[in-house]
Structure 1
């Protein structure tokens, strides 16, 4: 058997996620990418190609550096990140697993999230702000300095995407991070829970 092309290099990736409420009432998720870097194929190429961030850029996510100009000493407000043009990217939350689909296929498949009932209520409204970056050490909700540094280095992209929340069955275990063992109907799925203003 004769091979006409060299086999493609396998690139390993890992993504960590943080669920966060942005602004006063918008569900967000911060994705910290590890791996997904590859040496450019062209001879004499310099640096590394970021396959992860490039795939999100191709799907319509924007570079977040310009948001630093707005920040300038005030609080960093990511709730104003615009949607992709023509809703090119869609998100689906099934139980506690998030998937993102773009024009070229899956961007994120079945990423387990740890969220609170507070975050879930906002997510159920149908919009999700997604921030994808590198070197986002710690929790952004506690300290945004690593996010600001990554933004300044051009290592973050973001978009607001439509979110479909597929609720579990009423008698299923609630998917939220509280892990109380309560059924969905007694936790995030209580009648009126999705309309309540979180405390």
Structure 2
């Protein structure tokens, strides 16, 4: 995309089940499973945000962005059927996980001109994107599913209306400051034989 577009006033759709903070000057399509309270509506109004119809937010949103972990229940959450319901010229922004988007369906939608473009912070099998020589030197060779994901990612890199960033959207001055403060705080608490910010792993992909 040669020219950028401003966020204020654009309609942003968040697929059902996704988590997303309200953004100033945007219109948000809330997840279907969330019942909007009066307090939520008041907070949205104070931020200049209105809500789209929960029945078919994809048809109204100008920007669709999922914010959910990748797992069995969310893999390929956005696929051919969802792209078909999107507003013509809509933009997909994925800063969550590559597996949430069906990359083959995304390639088809872009190739057909159904989307205005895509901004991708993540890609399927992004850790495998490397030179062909490196792929064939691997032992054993990639299985068919992982090889397909690799090819999807490489195809998306060549679309002129797709912007891909190297999985570093978090890399801001504020984020780095919070990382330093949190890390130092954890060490100080641990030195006093305490604990905080404990993380338990359930085995579900992030």
Same fold flag (TM > 0.5): no
Larger proportion of strand: 1
Larger proportion of helix: 2
Query: What range describes the TM-score normalised by the shorter chain of this pair?
Result: under 0.3
TM-score (norm 2): 0.25
TM-score (norm 1): 0.25
Say which structure, 1 or 2, has more relative contact order (CA 8 Å, 6+ apart).
1
Q: Which of the two has higher C-alpha Rg? A: 2
